[in-house]
Structure 1
Amino acid sequence: MKKYLLIITTICLFIPTAWSKFDLRSLSAQTQTVQNDLEKILAKANLEGKINFVQKSHTKNSAHLSCEAEKMTITVEAGENWSQVFYYSLQKLGFYFPHPRIQVSPKWSQVKENCGKTIQWKTAMKYHGFHLHTLHPSEWVHGFLMGKTEIANDMIRWMARNQQNTLDLSLLDIEEEKIFSYLKAPFKLAKDFGIHTGVVFGFAFHQQNQYKLVSLFDSLFEERSLKAIDKKLNYLLDNIDLSFINIEAGTSEFTPANYELSIKWMNKAAELAEKKDVATFIKIHTSTGQENEKYGNFNFLPQFANSNVGILPHTVFLYELEADDAPMYGNKNFHHIRDFMLDQKDKRNTWYYPETSYFCVQDIDVPLFFTDYLLTRANDSKFLYQNGIQGQLNFSTGQEVGYWLFDWTYTLLNNLDYEFDPYIGLKLLGEDVESWKKIAEFQNKYFVKKGLVSIITFSSLGDELLEGVHNVLKRNLLSKLSKDPKSLDSEIALLEEAIPHIPKNVEIKNKELRSMWKITEARIQHAYYNRLAMKHEDKKESYLAKSKEYREKAQGHIDHVFNNHGRYPAAQLFSRHDNPTAYKWGYAQPAKDMQYWIREEESIRANNYAFYFMSQFSIKEVLEGWVF
């Protein structure tokens, strides 16, 4: 009997990777790192020395707040995630960090009201954090990949203070030695805060200046490609301290590599990474048109890989997993992503990978302020919790022009005490929630459910270059509207239905958020008068004058945001500048210059709807970076 037990035990210990998950390494915050951060927080609040903490190893996940001689001691009883419990205690005291460079602090009298209380930390998901999409020209490109380390460090502190424990970013095609040098200090700080770090790269991904392991030529040959993966992946793993890697499987977001060879690449990468105690994930895109007779959808190919190959099912823009309509990338909705995630969650590491900003002429760079990001992230988080999904890694382009609200609210939604409340961030900031509900309900009804979002956003370069082949968001291009009176009348009718219902007399306390809503409101009117100008040739100039009037109102508000709420001057987010991404401008530059608004007016004025007319992109940039 003992002989058989020994055999069974041996089999279990050496069970092949193909049949076992591989979780992230054990990681916990360093006491001194958290102590140093507490001192920074208290100094900014003018409460130096008023609060200290004691850490005790326990499974309680609680913190007791005791007071003596005008000082508070936070006794944290928790395990590996003790720092999350500690920072939640600060949040309960009234310390809020909605943006990496914004701190809201309580008075000492407010802090003392919590003496004697015990705080319990209950998290919805084990792993919760951010993908910083450094393929887009953001503050994080400068912070993590251009040597402006203080920007990176501020982001890491913000994540720790908001109880996040996972972070990754996209590697760009720059010198590896620069990457290693730039990431060393911020990734060390993240590790000391108990935050798992990862990087994103492609096998043979040739899009937006993404770093890749295999050249497009070598990707055609099994031996050459596997040799390249072995060499370059080991080089990365030996030089960057990582908990996980996140890999792009295709040759682009929209085009597949060889199906059978891709499975071998996935298994090879996971094998190499596991030897170094690093977990592997494959990004699951929601693009269409990549079907194979044997394997089906290329995006779902990891289901045929070993189970140590994790997945990050990705959805884009502001649509919910459960929504019946999500007309992105040729899809009707995201139900296929939902179903694949549920099918795989017990077979391999599975984290959901949504967005709070899309970029590419849809939101943050227009700029438009979509409150459905609040509703969607709340509803999706609740769905994930109810269905036992292990983690969530949110895709973010950046946090200026008010987009910090969406990212901050997302962090709060992992706390079960907040019951997946989409307005929790606004409540903590003391905003008039009823006003925001009016705005959110209006946007959800007209922007999302009735489809106005496709009218007030703008067509991307890919939409215009590959009309009918590649569609970011299902829409009528201006070129079509100019020849299709019925579609034009339909859009005018929807705008005329929505405009009288734009919420009036709303109270918005935060001036930055108020300006962002005013810009969004102005864009509705701007789109309306532009379409009237298309319809009535004899009145074109008078209607375009009205469009300009609303654009100039929006310009005043974006100027206010730039002059009063631009927090990263070193990152040049509101101007054109050289950087290692495929976009030679900051994400807020088109917004500040009203680039897309002016282009729409001038296209109508000239009756010129060519993709190159007043384009934000140069042909050289398109060819070099494959920018869509």
Structure 2
Amino acid sequence: MGSFFLQLWVKVGTLLQPALSWPATDPFTYALRDADSLLRTFGLQDTVSFLRTPHPGIQLMRGQPTTLSAPDSLQWANALYLLLEEKHGLAFVHPRITIRTPHLRPWTTLQAVPRFAWRGFHLHTQHPIELTEPLHDPDFPHAKQLIYEYLDWLARNRQNYFEFCLLRTVDLRRWIPYFQQIVRYARARGLTVGLDLSLRMQQQRAFQLLPRYSLRSKRQRLRSHLRQLATTGISHLNVELTAAEFVGKDWGPWIDSLLRYAHELGLTVLSRQHVVPPEAYAAGTFSPGQLPASLTLCVHSVMCYSLQDTLAPVYRCHNFSHLYETLRTEKNRRTVWYYPETAYWVTFDNSVPVWLLSYLRSRAEDIQLVEGLAEGHLTFSSGWEVGYWLFDWSVARWSWRYQYDTTPTQPHPA
């Protein structure tokens, strides 16, 4: 069989057109060409048609051709990848590995609806994980290729947000034009890009918007850094407001200034409530209720504990009930995201390292618990080694709800 048949065909009216006839200029056409390439790789073929519907989510209907229904072209792209998974058995388990499985559920009609408006991953590049160097160093071997593979993995798993920790060792003069290319590619894949940084966090080389020592005034420093970062094309800043994990800091009117300057540049500002209870700070404190309502709050849990575990004896906590209460109360006055982990890099599970399957249980429970409370689900990832890719891939799939014909499914850790 020639390669002519090993590709994706799209039915437009009464005509069949090869997917490669569309130039890759937006998330939908990128997905068409990517799906075509994946089908060729595995020696498969398919013919699809696309239907625009007003209903949220996506729907697949078997037939000749298979019909993919969605409200817009970005969701058509998501529907394409769902088709590759649920009809052809492809599984995008790892940024560098795609497998094919024969174990598929039978269906005639398949529906999928996102549980959260924002679904994405935070790569904690304050640790030496796979993409720490490629994301900071334009001269790292094959840097862009490695990053693009990860962005492809996010798009194939129907995520729409990506961020990482920017370090203050970065050479902004050389890094900004390099990162502009990465942001352009992410946007073409339907992904929104943010940066995680700080006002003046002392730990782990976090990038500081207000470094302590500078000849310029605080106002000049803040505005200058925000303008520089905005030129990369990012749209979100996840800003650490504490000075260290157990050290709170009252920035007073500077938080209002941060929000005002960022919004002038079209940037959305996020921050987070750490797992540390307010009364447990070694110095200062932190109360989300004191933050302006225009700031998106990411509620951050840690390790393999869930929000409803009766015991989570870490970070001076008895359990995480205070985090769940924050989600319940703050959602009434601001946008909130849930921000859990799929690995804990330091001293807990990969300093040895070990592979704790309880992460799957807690992440599945929490996803079902916070659906309807949180507008976003941001997974704190420590990379893919020691099998952590399985946890990330599972969370990405669970961020959608699926119904096979008339049978809805729930996340299942096994």
Separation in structure 1 between the aligned mates of residue 104 and residue 243 of structure 2, nearest angstrom: 55
Task: Specify whether residues 304 and 110 from structure 1 end up closer, same or farther in structure 2 by C-alpha distance, changes over 3 A only.
Answer: closer
Separation in structure 1 between the aligned mates of residue 178 and residue 306 of structure 2, nearest angstrom: 36
Task: Specify whether residues 228 and 409 from structure 1 end up closer, same or farther in structure 2 by C-alpha distance, changes over 3 A only.
Answer: same
Residue 172 of structure 1 deviates from its aligned partner by: 1.0
Task: Specify whether residues 289 and 349 from structure 1 end up closer, same or farther in structure 2 by C-alpha distance, changes over 3 A only.
Answer: closer
Residue 374 of structure 1 deviates from its aligned partner by: 0.2
Contact residue 286 and residue 299 of structure 1 kept, 8 A: no
Partner of 1:224: 217
More helix by share: 1
Whichever residue aligns with residue 81 of structure 2, its letter is Y
Separation in structure 1 between the aligned mates of residue 327 and residue 43 of structure 2, nearest angstrom: 47
Whichever residue aligns with residue 121 of structure 2, its letter is F
The structure with the largest alpha-carbon Rg is 1
More strand by share: 2
Cα deviation, 1:53-74, whole Å, max 9, x if unaligned, reads 5363643533344554xxx544
Partner of 1:277: 266
Partner of 1:35: 32
Cα deviation, 1:409-431, whole Å, max 9, x if unaligned, reads 111211222744233xxxxxxxx
Partner of 1:140: 131
Residue 127 of structure 1 deviates from its aligned partner by: 1.1
Partner of 1:169: 164
Task: Specify whether residues 291 and 170 from structure 1 end up closer, same or farther in structure 2 by C-alpha distance, changes over 3 A only.
Answer: same
Separation in structure 2 between the aligned mates of residue 267 and residue 41 of structure 1, nearest angstrom: 48
Cα deviation, 1:357-414, whole Å, max 9, x if unaligned, reads 11112213421010110000011111101x5221110100101221111111111211
Separation in structure 2 between the aligned mates of residue 29 and residue 420 of structure 1, nearest angstrom: 32
Q: How does 1:307-386 map to 2 (within 5 A)?
A: 307-385=293-371
Residue 126 of structure 1 deviates from its aligned partner by: 1.3
Contact residue 266 and residue 309 of structure 1 kept, 8 A: no
Residue 347 of structure 1 deviates from its aligned partner by: 1.0
**Match 1:86 to one of 62, 71, 80:** 80
Cα deviation, 1:94-132, whole Å, max 9, x if unaligned, reads 22111112212367x989x86xx3332212111111111
RMSD (CA atoms): 2.8
| Aligned-partner SS, 2:127 | coil
Whichever residue aligns with residue 179 of structure 1, its letter is W
Partner of 1:414: 399
Partner of 1:75: 68
Task: Specify whether residues 307 and 204 from structure 1 end up closer, same or farther in structure 2 by C-alpha distance, changes over 3 A only.
Answer: same
Whichever residue aligns with residue 210 of structure 1, its letter is A
Contact residue 409 and residue 422 of structure 1 kept, 8 A: no
Whichever residue aligns with residue 98 of structure 2, its letter is Q
Separation in structure 2 between the aligned mates of residue 118 and residue 318 of structure 1, nearest angstrom: 35
Higher mean C-alpha deviation, range 49-58 or range 96-105: 49-58
Q: How does 1:121-270 map to 2 (within 5 A)?
A: 121-147=112-138, 148-173=143-168, 174-217=170-213, 224-237=217-230, 239-257=231-249, 259=250, 262-270=251-259
Residue 36 of structure 1 deviates from its aligned partner by: 2.0
Whichever residue aligns with residue 331 of structure 2, its letter is K
Does residue 104 of structure 1 match 2:99?
yes
Separation in structure 1 between the aligned mates of residue 318 and residue 284 of structure 2, nearest angstrom: 16
Cα deviation, 1:185-216, whole Å, max 9, x if unaligned, reads 33222211211110011001121111111123
TM normalised by structure 1 equals 0.56
| Aligned-partner SS, 2:387 | coil
Partner of 1:286: 275
Task: Specify whether residues 66 and 410 from structure 1 end up closer, same or farther in structure 2 by C-alpha distance, changes over 3 A only.
Answer: closer
Unpaired runs of 5+ residues, structure 2, are 1-24, 403-407
Does residue 397 of structure 1 match 2:393?
no
Separation in structure 2 between the aligned mates of residue 126 and residue 52 of structure 1, nearest angstrom: 26
Q: How does 1:601-616 map to 2 (within 5 A)?
A: none
Separation in structure 2 between the aligned mates of residue 253 and residue 278 of structure 1, nearest angstrom: 25
Whichever residue aligns with residue 319 of structure 1, its letter is Y
Contact residue 86 and residue 104 of structure 2 kept, 8 A: no
Task: Specify whether residues 213 and 334 from structure 1 end up closer, same or farther in structure 2 by C-alpha distance, changes over 3 A only.
Answer: same
| Aligned-partner SS, 1:298 | coil
Task: Specify whether residues 110 and 395 from structure 1 end up closer, same or farther in structure 2 by C-alpha distance, changes over 3 A only.
Answer: closer
Partner of 2:46: 50
Q: How does 1:431-470 map to 2 (within 5 A)?
A: 433=414
Separation in structure 1 between the aligned mates of residue 212 and residue 409 of structure 2, nearest angstrom: 47
Task: Specify whether residues 60 and 327 from structure 1 end up closer, same or farther in structure 2 by C-alpha distance, changes over 3 A only.
Answer: closer
Whichever residue aligns with residue 77 of structure 1, its letter is A
Contact residue 134 and residue 169 of structure 1 kept, 8 A: yes
Task: Specify whether residues 416 and 360 from structure 1 end up closer, same or farther in structure 2 by C-alpha distance, changes over 3 A only.
Answer: same
Task: Specify whether residues 279 and 97 from structure 1 end up closer, same or farther in structure 2 by C-alpha distance, changes over 3 A only.
Answer: same
Separation in structure 1 between the aligned mates of residue 192 and residue 321 of structure 2, nearest angstrom: 29
| Aligned-partner SS, 1:282 | strand
Separation in structure 2 between the aligned mates of residue 318 and residue 263 of structure 1, nearest angstrom: 34
Whichever residue aligns with residue 137 of structure 1, its letter is P
Separation in structure 1 between the aligned mates of residue 350 and residue 387 of structure 2, nearest angstrom: 9
Contact residue 180 and residue 240 of structure 1 kept, 8 A: yes
Percent identity between the two aligned chains: 24
Unpaired runs of 5+ residues, structure 1, are 1-27, 424-432, 434-628
Task: Specify whether residues 297 and 382 from structure 1 end up closer, same or farther in structure 2 by C-alpha distance, changes over 3 A only.
Answer: farther
Separation in structure 1 between the aligned mates of residue 364 and residue 60 of structure 2, nearest angstrom: 29
Separation in structure 2 between the aligned mates of residue 326 and residue 123 of structure 1, nearest angstrom: 29
Residue 341 of structure 1 deviates from its aligned partner by: 2.0
Task: Specify whether residues 383 and 346 from structure 1 end up closer, same or farther in structure 2 by C-alpha distance, changes over 3 A only.
Answer: same
Whichever residue aligns with residue 298 of structure 1, its letter is T
Residue 264 of structure 1 deviates from its aligned partner by: 2.1
Separation in structure 1 between the aligned mates of residue 57 and residue 179 of structure 2, nearest angstrom: 31
TM normalised by structure 2 equals 0.83
Cα deviation, 1:45-94, whole Å, max 9, x if unaligned, reads 122x53455363643533344554xxx54433323533223322322212
Task: Specify whether residues 142 and 276 from structure 1 end up closer, same or farther in structure 2 by C-alpha distance, changes over 3 A only.
Answer: same
Whichever residue aligns with residue 241 of structure 1, its letter is G
Contact residue 156 and residue 186 of structure 1 kept, 8 A: no
Task: Specify whether residues 208 and 175 from structure 1 end up closer, same or farther in structure 2 by C-alpha distance, changes over 3 A only.
Answer: same
Contact residue 201 and residue 246 of structure 1 kept, 8 A: yes
